[in-house]
Copies of this chain bind each other. A is one copy, B any other.
Amino acid sequence: MATETVILAYSGGLDTSCILKWLLDKQYEVICVLADVGQKEDFTAAEKKALKIGAKKVIVADVKQSFVEDYIWPAVQMGLVYEERYLLGTSLARPCISVALIEVAREYGAKYLAHGATGKGNDQVRFELCAYALKPDLKIIAPWRDVKFCCQFQGRQDLIAYAQQHGIEVSAKPATPWSTDANILHISYESGILEDPNTVAPENLYQMTVDPMTRAPCNPIRLVIQFDRGLPSSVEDLAGRRVYTKPLEMLDFLNRLGGFYGIGRIDIVENRFVGLKSRGVYETPGGTILFAAHQDLEVFALDREVLRTKQVLRDRMADYLAEQRVSGKVTVELAPGYSRAVARKASNNVGALYNEQLVSMDVHGGYVPQDAGGFIAINAVRIREHVRAFGAYEVPTKKN
C-alpha cells in the first residue's frame, strides 16, 4: 500500500509535535501547516522543529489579510456577538485556518486531515464541518478522540515523557496553568486554574492589554472611525493625526491603542456547541472598539424595524437567497374543498437536498448509523447536566 499523506494543523507546541511523531509512527507522510493568523510565534523555529521530528514538508500560510478582510470585517458589519458578550475571536479564526489546510490538501492530493483539538471543545467541530463543506472526501484524524491515543497520553506529563523519549524539543519555559489561543483579533484563556468559575483570573495572564486601573494613561483619547456600508473604512487618531485605511493596519493600530488603554477584557461563562458550559477569559482590544462604534452608527443609520430584523438574522448565518433553490415540480391533487401535494420532483438530479439513498432504510447511502450514538450522547450532555444539578426530571402525570 502506498503511503498516505496527512495534512496536520501544526502549532509548534507540545501537543501537535507529539501528534506529528505519532502519525509518522503509523507510517503516514505528514505535511505540517502553520497558519499565521497573527499569533506571536517563532514560525522559523516551529518549522525546524517539525522537520527535525520528521515532517515531509512544513508550510507557513500567512492568512492574516484574509482573516481580517473576509472574516473579521464581515463579523463587525453583521455585529456578531455570542451570548451577548463574546466577540468570536477563535470561532472566526478556525474557518480561515481550515481554508488554508484544505488548500494544501488539494495541492498535495492528501486524503487525511489531522488536528490536535480536544474532544470536549468546539474547535473539533469547526475544523471538521469546514472540511466537510469544502472537501467532503477528506478523512479526519482526531487523535484526542482516539481511544488508544487517549490511553497513551493521559496528561501533560505523558506528552513530555514521550517527547523526551523521541528527541522532541520541550520548551524550557514552564507551562502556564491555563491554555491560550491567540490571533490578531483576540487572545483567549481557559482551562487549568480558570476552570473554577469563582476564582478571579490573575493579572499576569493578560498579554494584549495593560491593567486599565494601574497602567493605562490618565487621560482619554478620541478616535474617528469611518464605516462604509457597515465595513470599517478608516481610523483617524485625533491626537496624532494618523489615518489608517488598510484593514490589517487599522486593526493593528486599534489593538495597540486599545491594549494601551486596557480595553476589551471579558471574563465569562459560556455555552459550548457540544453542550458544556465553560469559563473563558478574553482580551479583544481592537475588536471591542470596532464593535461598539459600529453598533452606535447602526442604530443611528437604520430604520427601527430593519434594525430589529437584522438583530434576528445576526444569529442565523443562512443563505438569504434561498429561493433560488426552490425549483421543481409538485403534483397536486384537487378534491372537493381542498388541494394537497401528493408528489414532488426537483428540477434536476442534484437540485434538492432530498436523498433517497440516504434516507432509505435498506441501504446505507453514506450515513453511518453508529455515528448517531455519539450524536445522541452529545445532545444529551445538557440533559445529563440538568439531571446532575436539579435531579432527574419528574415523570409527567395527569394534571389536576
By a CB distance below 8 angstroms, the chain B residues around A372 are 119-120, 124-125, 142, 145, 274, 374, 378
Contact of A197 among B201, B343, B368, B377 (CB under 8 A): B343
Interface residues of A in 116-149 (CB under 8 A from B): 118-120, 124-125, 128-129, 132-136, 140, 142, 144-145, 147
Main secondary structure of the interface of A (DSSP, over half): mixed
Kindly specify which of A25-33, A36-44, A165-173, A319-327 makes contact with the partner chain. A319-327
Contact with B along A190-224 (1 / 0, CB 8 A): 01100111111100000000001110111111111
Q: Determine whether A61 belongs to the interface, using a CB cutoff of 8 Å to chain B.
A: no
**B214/A218 in contact, CB under 8 A:** yes
Q: Which of A16-24, A51-59, A265-273 contacts B (4 or more CB under 8 A)?
A: A265-273
Q: Is A257 an interface residue (CB 8 A)?
A: yes
Q: How large is the interface on A (under 10, 10 to 19, 20 to 34, 35 or more residues)?
A: 35 or more
Asked if B341 and A293 make an inter-chain contact with CB atoms under 8 angstroms apart, the answer reads yes
Contact B326 A128 (CB under 8 A): no
Query: Cα distance A334–B255 when bound, in Å?
Result: 12
Q: Does A111 contact B (CB under 8 A)?
A: no
Residue A389 at the chain B interface, CB threshold 8 Å: yes
Measured in the bound complex, the distance between the Cα atoms of B224 and A10 in whole Å is 43
**A392 at the A/B interface (Cβ < 8 Å)?**
yes
Known A84-B295, A214-B218, A336-B336; contact A327-B227, beta-carbon cutoff 8 A: yes
The reply on A302 being an interface residue by CB < 8 A is yes
A334 touches B220 (CB 8 A): yes
Query: Given A70-B396, A83-B307, A134-B395, do A326 and B301 touch, yes or no (CB 8 Å)?
Result: yes
A227 touches B292 (CB 8 A): no
Q: How far is the CB of A280 from chain B (nearest CB, A)?
A: 10
Q: Tell yes or no: A49 within 8 A of B by CB.
A: no
A3 touches B (CB below 8 Å): no
A1 / chain B contacts, CB cutoff of 8 Å: none
Indicate which residue in B69, B195, B258, B309 contacts A360 across the interface (CB closer than 8 Å): B195
CB distance from A258 to the nearest CB of B (A): 7
A336 and B217 form a contact (CB under 8 A): yes
A359 to chain B, nearest CB (A): 5
Nearest-neighbour CB distance to chain B for A11, whole angstroms, equals: 16
Which B-chain residue is minimally distant from A324 (CB atoms)? B229
CB contacts under 8 Å to B, within A306-344, are 306-313, 316, 318-320, 322-344
B335 and A220 form a contact (CB under 8 A): yes
Q: Which residues of B contact A387 (CB under 8 A)?
A: 132-133, 136
Q: Which residue of chain B has its CB nearest to the CB of A368?
A: B377
Q: In angstroms, how far is the closest chain B Cβ from the Cβ of A268?
A: 7
Q: How far is the CB of A392 from chain B (nearest CB, A)?
A: 6
A107 within 8 A of B: no
Q: How far is the CB of A331 from chain B (nearest CB, A)?
A: 5
Q: What is the bound-complex CA distance between A391 and B136, given in angstroms?
A: 10
Q: How far is the CB of A169 from chain B (nearest CB, A)?
A: 23
Contact B356 A196 (CB under 8 A): yes
In the complex, the answer to whether A382 meets B70 with C-beta atoms within 8 Å is no
B354 and A279 contacting across the interface, CB-CB below 8 Å: yes
| Smallest Cβ-Cβ distance to A146: which chain B residue | B370
* B69 lies within 8 A of A145 (CB): no
CA distance A356 to B199 in the complex (A): 12
Q: Is the CB of B197 within 8 A of A300?
A: yes
| Assembly CA distance A303 to B103 (angstroms) | 26
Q: Does A358 contact B (CB under 8 A)?
A: yes
List 28 contacting pairs A-B, 8 Å CB cutoff, sorted by A.
Answer: A71-B396, A118-B369, A119-B369, A125-B372, A128-B380, A129-B376, A133-B393, A136-B392, A147-B370, A201-B342, A218-B336, A222-B331, A223-B334, A225-B330, A229-B327, A261-B335, A261-B339, A262-B337, A263-B338, A267-B343, A269-B344, A275-B304, A288-B339, A296-B330, A305-B316, A306-B318, A312-B316, A336-B337
